[in-house]
Amino acid sequence: MPRLVRRLLACATAATLWGGALAGAAVTAGTVVTATPAAALDNGLALTPPMGFNDWNAFGCDVSEQLIEQTADYFVSSGLKDAGYTYVNIDDCWMTHTRDADGRLVPDPVKFPDGIKGTADYVHSKGLKLGIYEDAGTATCAGYPGSLGHETTDAQTFADWGIDYLKYDNCNNNSDGTREDYVRRYTAMRDALAATGRPIVYSLCEWGVNEPWEWAGDVGNSWRTTGDINDSWNSMLSIAKANMPLASAAGPGRWNDPDMLEVGNGGMTDTEYRTHFSLWSMMNSPLLIGTDLRKATPETLAILGNKDVIALDQDKLGAQATVLSSDGDKYVLTKKLANGERAVALFNAGDQAQRIATTARAAGLPKRGSYSVRDLWSHTDYESAGGLSATVPAHGTVLLRVGTNPAAVLKAPLFDTGVTGPDHIEPGNSASISTYATDLGTLPAAEVKVKLTAPDGWSLRAKGGTGTLLLPGGRTFSTPWTVGVPADAQPGSYPVSGTVSYRSLTSGKTLTVPLIGSVTVKVPPPSGTSYLSDLPWTSSTNGWGPVERDRSNGETGASDGNPITLGGTVYTKGLGVHAPSSISYYLGGKCSTVTATVGVDDEKNGKGSVEFTVTADGTTVADSGVVTNPMGGKPITADVTGAQNVTLAVSDGGDGNDSDHADWADAKLTCS
């Protein structure tokens, strides 16, 4: 569902931001708004990004005093408080639908029998702080009273209750859409909070509509930079990519906020959640837990409680990470730290394991003969001569802290390990792959041993030695292998992985590091004409929820769309997507033509504009041009003769992806 529409639907908001007590002159309609980051709000708050909890992602409107108090208890008992989590924040739906006779907001007496003041007192008794939610419009996103025109009363009410943090949303705002109006509404609450004299962190939640990173630095302590996050890889990835370029706006007391954490809610793997947490910490994002901590798994708590990673987010310098390099789905992010060290994230956004590399010098450190390297997820210290590289699993992130400590030479050498091989193997065939282990340190490693495993039913045989007594620094040990794929193997990516062990000559300790690799099995389409929705794709991305087969895009779940409909015509077959989207198929050089009828699904009722393209082995072979919802269906034909791979992509048409439910109706592939 499009970002803005979701915000305007009852109970469809998902933000969790930060409110505050802010000082400064009111902004009037005639204020000139600059395009450069504003100075930091001088309220002495949020000098590092706020950390805490927000109930919305896991509970929606089902918030209660009991939930908030139990969460506060768990912060203490689980060690999350000691890890830095401070704010226990209430989101929408906490109040009644009408104000009292004095115009004050009224807590729902069923949900909060002791009132917000009583809840605040309990949270404060645990050494924690309480946050609350309101809206810079006439009503909240769930339809409760908003603060527009009531800023002074509401700010004083929050102060009287003992509130420490305010998330201020943007629904039902009666806005004329201008930046001046947004600045005026949010500044009104800033000044009202400041007038109370109570320190309240102020979090703007206007979804990045009017580029708040350009003006909100002296209005709030943080500002949402994107639409709502949901618990899916595609949502998290698209938001991270949108937030990455905004580093120059962030600093102590003023933070870019790409929305709250989804870690632990079940829609992503633990590998993806570690990436989510890594990127949010590298980007100095507010870290607000959005899961039911009372049911959190040990894996979830290990991610949320990783003090090595949290330290990056909470670093006193407050420098948001920047993108050092990007190559397709491979990213290197670097972050300057207060003690002169650098954090380096090797981030793999792709669907296959990939080697990602940089150097300590490229990360901004001075030239040295040796560098200290700490892996923040394995909590292991290494030494490197300067190289920083790893084979990173699909959707994974290797997170390193790198410095110039001369004592690092006494640590075990950092190793770069991985598996290389062909682009793919077809079922029933075999191919050669190779494992490698590179000593990135200055000193040799001893007793290097390689172990590799393949999926059940596959064959695997080493064609060379699997160990060496001594591996000098800067040298690589490789082993060739033959891997055989069963004839009945289904298309997909399969792990071919293992371990590399070696002994440090300085400490005498033996270390074991993962050996990560994968083999992709691809099956060419059958001869004749097939519907693409009946064929397996090799990869897919989607701007909202999963790609749907024979249905429109729908929401975040699978198979929740409607019948594909373009211009009043209903299609029983096809692919439903939401821009930006891409779907790739393996052709094996055996196909000739892709055909479809494309357009924005009728369910968007006149809204939405997209552009469809078909690329064969990286070359565009068909382009629909911009297609709008009122245009209905448009035929598209692509010549893919001889191509190994084909990709069906949809972009947002240049105006953002609001309402961009796009259909590849009746999509067919003809092969020999």
The number of CA neighbours under 13 Å toward the Cβ of 5 is 13
Give Cβ neighbours of residue 498 (< 8 Å, ≥ 6 apart): 435, 450, 451, 452, 453, 514, 515
Which listed residue (154, 164, 228, 601) is catalytic? 228
For residue 196, which phi and psi values (nearest 5 degrees)? -75, -25
169 among known catalytic residues: yes
Selected catalytic residue, list 169, 191, 218, 315: 169
Preceding amide of 580 cis, omega within 30: yes
The verdict on whether 228 is a catalytic residue reads yes
Cβ atoms 4, 169 nearer than 8 A: no
CA–CA dist 198, 230 (Å, integer)? 33
Residue owning tokens 């729902």: 108
Name residue, tokens 């040799």.
Answer: 444
Report the Cα 553 to chain-centroid distance in Å.
21
- Other Cβ atoms closer than 10 A to 250: 27
CA-to-CA distance for 407 and 385, rounded, in angstroms? Answer: 13
Indicate the DSSP class of residue 364: T
Which of 648, 638, 636, 658 is CA-nearest to residue 578?
A: 658
CA dihedral 561, 565, 566, 570 (to 10 degrees): 150
Q: How far apart are CA 193 and CA 554, in angstroms?
A: 40
Q: Which tokens sit at 600?
A: 């924005």
Return the axis-axis angle of helices 115-125 and 65-78, rounded to nearest 10°: 10
Among 575, 513, 567, 519, smallest CA distance to 547 is for 575
95: number of Cβ within 10 Å: 22
* CA 190/CA 151 separation, integer angstroms: 9
Catalytic residue positions, numbered: 169, 228
